[in-house]
Amino acid sequence: MLTIKIDADMKEALRARETTRLSTLRMLKSAIQYAMMEKKLKTLSDADAIIVIKKQIKQRQDAIEEFQKGGRSDLVAKETAELTVLKAYLPPELSSTELEQIISATIAELGATTKADMGKVMKAVQAKVAGRADNRAISQLVSAKLV
């Protein structure tokens, strides 16, 4: 399970005195525990853990964007390092050609033809890729394929 791997990596980072990695994993573990409390579960499935990790990644990306606007290169570097640690726990992303094939197949399955069908297609594609592609990329490709 992913949560067990995170715990093991946290102990390893503690022994190796990797402060950035350790603090990032502690924040991630805290977010996972909060999600478990919120859902009233004793353990979190890998799919739910991936959702929590993606949420943490999104927070880091937003922070990087804001710090770049503010000219805070020191904080950009810190957030980028945390982002790298978090991305290591996601499944490998699909290539753009694989993603396009999945989208084309889904559009054909659903018989979607117009932008009005975009919501249906997005929901089906997101279920198929299960966190292995960025929602923005999915949206752009679906929008380009539907007229």
Are the beta carbons of 56 and 28 closer than 8 angstroms? yes
pTM of the entire predicted model: 0.73
pLDDT above 70 covers a percentage of the chain that reads: 100
pLDDT of residue 65: 93
Q: What is the rounded CA–CA span in Å between residue 45 and residue 97?
A: 29
Q: Write the single-letter amino acid at 20.
A: T
Q: Is the pLDDT of residue 125 over 80?
A: yes
> Is CATH 3.30.1180.20 the classification given to domain 2-87?
no
96-145 CATH pick, 3.40.50.150, 1.10.10.410, 3.40.1260.10, 3.90.1150.10: 1.10.10.410
Q: Is the pLDDT of residue 92 over 90?
A: no
pLDDT digits (tens, 9 = 90+) for 18-56: 999 999 999 999 999 999 999 898 888 888 888 899 899
Task: Report, as an integer, the average pLDDT of 124-131.
Answer: 82
Buried b (16+ CB within 10 A) or exposed e, 35-55: bbeeeeeeebeeebbbebbbe
**Of residues 125, 120, 121, 127, the one with CA closest to residue 47:** 127
Task: Report, as an integer, the average pLDDT of 119-128.
Answer: 86
